[in-house]
Amino acid sequence: MSQYLITQFLNGLVLGSLYVLLSIGLSAIFGMLGIINFAHGALYMLGAYAAYTVVGVLSGNFLIAILVVPLAIGLIGALLETTLLRRLYRVVPLYNLLLTFGLMLAIQDAVRIGYGPEGEPFNIPSALLGAVNLGFTYYPKYRLFIFAITVLASIGLILFLEKTKLGSIIRAGTEDSDMVDALGIDIGKIFTLVFGIGAALAGLAGVLAAPVQNVAPAMGMSFLVDTFVVVVIGGMGSIIGSIIAGLIIGETLTIGVLIWPPMATTLIYVFMAIILLIRPRGLFGREKFHE
């Protein structure tokens, strides 16, 4: 039993990893641009389909997909920001919601038309097949790989934000974008960059999820709702908050299923409600920030 629990705990970390990658972008985009990006789940789905195209259709290497797909999805995100989202920053948030919601539907239907509605098979790459002996239990290699990539991506992102000039500009812009602009920095370009990085992380999550989730046009939709819960719990605009809340929600879902399956999905909303009651800005949200 205890070994089973440990396995479930590790499963929770792996599921949580995908939430972490998705919610960092969602949270950063909301924190800086003030936009609730409903298209985020569609970008994640697009990442999975792009990986399928690279590996399944073009018989490319999975590692190539991991490197190229996030870049491509990031560029698509940057393109969406410069051509569409940018026009709506100064208007009522409702318009942004409509736009990103519409984008989500359009991307989903485009994929449905291109690849069909039923979903695509995606095998775990052969190099990552099998299980690893962790000493106390055996655990699938590929799932550990998801966790490891997430850890690397998170550390890389934190170092970039904390140690580089560009990172300090992004942090400053999350606090007060007008003031950054007044210091001579074109904040529009920073917005594009942040949206692009967020999209790239969603794309990366999509690639990583492709072998373990069903690659289908609607795969981003249900994931997105849970990711919003993660962002709210972690605190808008906080990376550390996204990481911690993502892992907590991953664990809540996988451990909750053990106790009583129907309860698991409800549990995350109960958890969110409690957090909102005792700490409305989320675990790591800043004071007076979009409150």
CB 256 within 8 A of CB 55: no
Q: Does the footprint of other proteins cover residue 168 (CB under 8 A)?
A: yes
- Listing DSSP states for 159-221 in one string gives HHHHHSHHHHHHHHHHH-HHHHHHTT--HHHHHHHHHHHHHHHHHHHHHHHTTTS-B-TTHHH
CA distance 77 to 183: 26
Nearest distance from residue 288's CB to other proteins, in Å? 11
CB 209 within 8 A of CB 226: no
Figure out which of the listed residues 109, 114, 156, 186 binds other proteins, where binding follows CB under 8 A.
186
Site string for other proteins, 91-130 (x = CB under 8 A): ----------------------------------------
C-beta closer to other proteins: residue 172 or 257: 172
C-beta closer to other proteins: residue 121 or 184: 184
Give the number of residues in contact with other proteins, rule: CB under 8 A.
19
Q: Does the footprint of other proteins cover residue 165 (CB under 8 A)?
A: yes
Go through 244-256 and write b for each residue having 16 or more CB atoms within 10 A of its CB, e for each that does not.
bbbbbbbbbbbbb
CA distance 125 to 61: 8
Nearest distance from residue 274's CB to other proteins, in Å? 27
Tokens 């590692």 belong to residue: 63
CA distance 117 to 119: 6
Figure out which of the listed residues 130, 176, 258, 290 binds other proteins, where binding follows CB under 8 A.
176
C-beta closer to other proteins: residue 105 or 182: 182
Figure out which of the listed residues 171, 240, 255, 265 binds other proteins, where binding follows CB under 8 A.
171
Q: Does the footprint of other proteins cover residue 187 (CB under 8 A)?
A: yes
Nearest distance from residue 176's CB to other proteins, in Å? 5
CA distance 42 to 269: 22
Identity of the amino acid at 269: Y
The angle at the Cα of 233, spanning 207 to 278, to the nearest 5 degrees, equals: 170
Q: Does the footprint of other proteins cover residue 182 (CB under 8 A)?
A: yes
Stretch that binds other proteins, among 27-35, 91-99, 161-169, 194-202 (CB under 8 A): 161-169
H helix runs in the chain, sequence order = 2-33, 40-52, 62-83, 93-115, 141-163, 165-175, 177-182, 187-209, 219-234, 239-259, 261-278
The DSSP H or E segment spanning 127 is none
Q: Does the footprint of other proteins cover residue 181 (CB under 8 A)?
A: yes
Nearest distance from residue 169's CB to other proteins, in Å? 7
Nearest distance from residue 172's CB to other proteins, in Å? 4
Stretch that binds other proteins, among 3-11, 108-116, 164-172, 207-215 (CB under 8 A): 164-172
Name the residues that contact other proteins, by CB under 8 A.
165, 168-169, 171-172, 174-176, 178-188
